[in-house]
Each structure stands twice: as structure tokens, then as C-alpha cells.
């Protein structure tokens, strides 16, 4: 089953779970709960700054922060990164105890604390592309262009309004069964969601 990413790389989805045979994003109520939660969360995360940049520059100098391109961790406990700060995360995860927090909601907080304490990867520490991967913890690079086009096709003509859906969060859905009164496809389209942001890596 092919793995794909949407919006940000890092989180991977089983293509068959989120994309129809026609290459469009499935209605949310047809997507299993776990990937649906991440998908909805992603809408709130695209265009957000890198966490490490933000810790460095703060709200007052937010214009100096690079836009996040990468997301790791659990929805609402995630880490957002720019490529320049990804080696710091990889080092923390692999060498500084970060993997101990894998799968927890504290994952992001622990990384933020580590960065805020002034830690960073040693000079020249390999980025993700150059290290052997933990298949569950570190992603390979997806074909973003293809998925971007697919998702765009699914939301043709819709306007972008990320904030509206961001407020709709998926936390309340977590414990619900199949009977879903959370975010529906209609809600998503009403919100004008377009997961296909520009990718900073293309600049
Ligand atoms: Zn950064």
C-alpha cells in the first residue's frame, strides 16, 4: 500500500485510506478515524512556523521564522520543523532520548523544552535523508507534487480558509465510534479547505 503525505511531509497516510480510485480526497466520514484526525489537524498546521524557529525568534519576530515543512508526532502533540531545524529534531529523537516520548502527547513539549534549553544537533549531523530510518519514527520523502495535484482536484473551485476548520479540531472525535458527527465532507468543503499549500521546498 503506497504511503503518501499531504500538505507537510512527515505524517504518512495509506493512500488507499484517504484517496479514491479517481484520485480525489475521500469524504472524511469514509476515512478511518486515526488518519482522519491527522488530516484535519494538518489543515491547522500548514503555513504555521517551524517550532524551533519560533522558539528562537518569538512572536515579536515571527516574520523571521521559516514556514514549517515537516510534521512529526501525534496530532496536538506534534513537532513542526523547517528543513534547517530537522537535523536538530533527528538528533534529539535518535540520540537525546526523544524516541522515549514517541506516541505520547508530550512528544512536542519535550522537544520544545530541549530546544529552549539551547540544545541542537552537532555541526554536520546528518539530516533525515542520510540516516537509516526507524520505519515508524522517521519518514521517507513522499511525492508531494502528485498528492498536491490530487488534493487540489478534490477541492476544485473551493476557497482557502484554513482557520475556520482549525477551530473544528478533532479532539472531540477521538473517543467516538463510527457514528461520526464530527467534521464531515460537507463541513470541509463549506470551510473551503484546500490542503494544497505551496511547498516552501519548491522555492
Ligand atoms: Zn526552523
pLDDT digits (tens, 9 = 90+) for 87-145: 999 999 999 999 999 999 999 999 999 999 999 999 888 655 543 344 443 333 334 55
Task: Measure 36 CA to ligand 1 centroid, in angstroms.
Answer: 27
pLDDT digits (tens, 9 = 90+) for 14-67: 988 988 888 777 888 888 999 988 988 888 888 899 999 999 999 999 999 999
Task: Measure 193 CA to ligand 1 centroid, in angstroms.
Answer: 25
26 three-class SS = coil
Task: Measure 56 CA to ligand 1 centroid, in angstroms.
Answer: 8
Q: How many other CB atoms sit within 10 Å of the CB of residue 41?
A: 20
Domain membership of residue 200 (yes or no) is no
pLDDT digits (tens, 9 = 90+) for 142-178: 345 555 555 555 544 444 444 455 554 444 444 444 4
Domain membership of residue 203 (yes or no) is no
Task: Measure 148 CA to ligand 1 centroid, in angstroms.
Answer: 23
Q: Is this model's pTM higher than 0.75 or not?
A: no
Identify the DSSP state of 29.
G
Domain residues for 109?
A: 3-194
Task: Measure 50 CA to ligand 1 centroid, in angstroms.
Answer: 5
Task: Measure 134 CA to ligand 1 centroid, in angstroms.
Answer: 22
Domain membership of residue 164 (yes or no) is yes
Domain membership of residue 199 (yes or no) is no
Task: Measure 141 CA to ligand 1 centroid, in angstroms.
Answer: 18
Count of domains observed in the chain:
1
Amino acid at each position: 500500500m503506497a504511503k503518501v503525505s499531504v500538505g507537510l511531509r512527515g505524517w504518512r497516510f495509506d493512500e488507499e485510506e484517504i484517496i479514491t480510485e479517481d484520485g480525489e480526497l475521500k469524504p472524511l466520514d469514509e476515512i478511518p478515524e486515526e488518519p482522519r484526525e491527522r488530516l484535519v489537524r494538518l489543515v491547522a498546521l500548514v503555513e504555521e512556523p517551524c517550532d524551533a524557529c519560533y522558539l528562537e525568534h518569538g512572536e515579536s519576530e515571527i516574520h523571521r521564522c521559516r514556514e514549517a515543512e515537516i510534521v512529526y508526532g501525534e496530532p496536538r502533540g506534534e513537532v513542526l520543523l523547517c528543513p534547517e531545524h530537522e537535523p536538530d529534531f533527528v538528533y534529539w529523537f535518535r540520540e537525546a532520548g526523544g524516541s522515549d516520548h514517541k506516541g505520547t502527547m508530550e512528544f512536542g513539549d519535550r522537544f520544545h523544552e530541549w530546544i529552549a534549553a539551547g540544545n541542537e544537533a552537532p555541526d554536520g549531523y546528518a539530516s533525515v535523508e542520510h540516516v537509516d530510518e526507524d520505519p515508524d519514527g522517521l519518514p521517507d520523502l513522499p511525492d508531494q507534487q502528485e498528492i498536491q495535484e490530487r488534493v487540489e482536484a478534490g477541492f476544485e473551485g473551493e476557497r482557502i480558509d484554513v482557520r475556520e476548520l482549525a477551530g473544528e479540531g478533532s479532539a472531540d472525535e477521538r473517543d467516538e465510534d463510527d457514528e461520526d458527527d464530527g467534521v464531515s465532507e460537507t463541513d470541509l468543503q463549506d470551510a473551503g479547505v484546500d490542503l494544497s499549500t505551496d511547498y516552501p521546498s519548491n522555492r
